[in-house]
Amino acid sequence: MRILIVDDDPLICEFVRRGLQEEGHVVDVAHDGQHGRMLALVEPYDALILDVVLPDAMGYDIAREIRSKSKDVPILMLTSKNRTEDIVSGLDSGADDYLVKPFVLDELKARVRALVRRGGAVRDDTLAYAGVTLDRKTRRAFVDGTRIRLTPKEFTLLERFLLAPGSTLSRTELLEKVWDITFDPGSNVVDVHVARLRRKLRTAKASASIVTVRGVGFALTDDPDSFVD
């Protein structure tokens, strides 16, 4: 599944993110309401974990806006408030479930699974674009039906590109999502892995290729000319 966490506490975000990633989920994090609202309204998430109190917004208001836009993503609300009226406010705003801090990670994961089952949201276990296919259950990659061998990091890197084909992903974003590293201006780890993945796609004669967008990052596309300056 692809899950969004919106919480201003970096320790909680990291704790939950790592726990969910261990189960094979793709996890995005936003530390404020504005960023979280934007991601929730634009990106196709299977579940949303939303804190009630954020630096610039209330989770209740974000949940209401998401529901007003006809978004049916399951929402699990997190809060340190456990009064009945607080729980009622959260559920009335559009949340599907409510979990009080501090919580046990296994309970949070179980609640997310239950919400997704009830809501009918299912992660795409197959990602495909221009003949490039990833089987996320078996962690295998194919080009036009022929398997290509990828390292675990190459698989995760290609997965990020296939979640947003045609979109430019920055080095900073890839460091955070694939390597769990905050921005390091001296690191070339992204460039090295992109070069290896690009070479494997080219060897397999894939229609899609990874292009370098100068000064920005990289994009997976079947139309490289559209990225020429």
Length of the chain: 229
Query: 3-class SS at 115?
Result: helix
pLDDT at site 181? 66
C-alpha to C-alpha distances, 180 to 27, 37, 184, nearest whole angstrom: 11, 23, 11
Surface-to-core class of residue 32, CB atoms within 10 Å of its CB (0-12 exposed, 13-18 middle, 19+ buried): middle
All domains in the chain, ordered by first residue: 2-119 (3.40.50.2300), 126-227 (1.10.10.10)
pLDDT at site 107? 93
User: Strand 47-51 vs strand 75-79: parallel, antiparallel, or unpaired?
Assistant: parallel
Tell me which residue has tokens 């992109």: 194
pLDDT tens sequence across 138-168: 888 999 989 999 988 899 899 999 988 999 9
pLDDT beneath 70: ranges in the chain? 70, 119-124, 180-186, 228-229
pLDDT at site 37? 92
Query: 3-class SS at 208?
Result: coil
pLDDT tens sequence across 77-88: 998 877 778 778
pLDDT at site 70? 57
pLDDT at site 139? 85
Residue 226 structure tokens: 């559209």
Q: In DSSP terms, which residues pair with 3 in a beta bridge?
A: 27, 47
pLDDT at site 69? 78
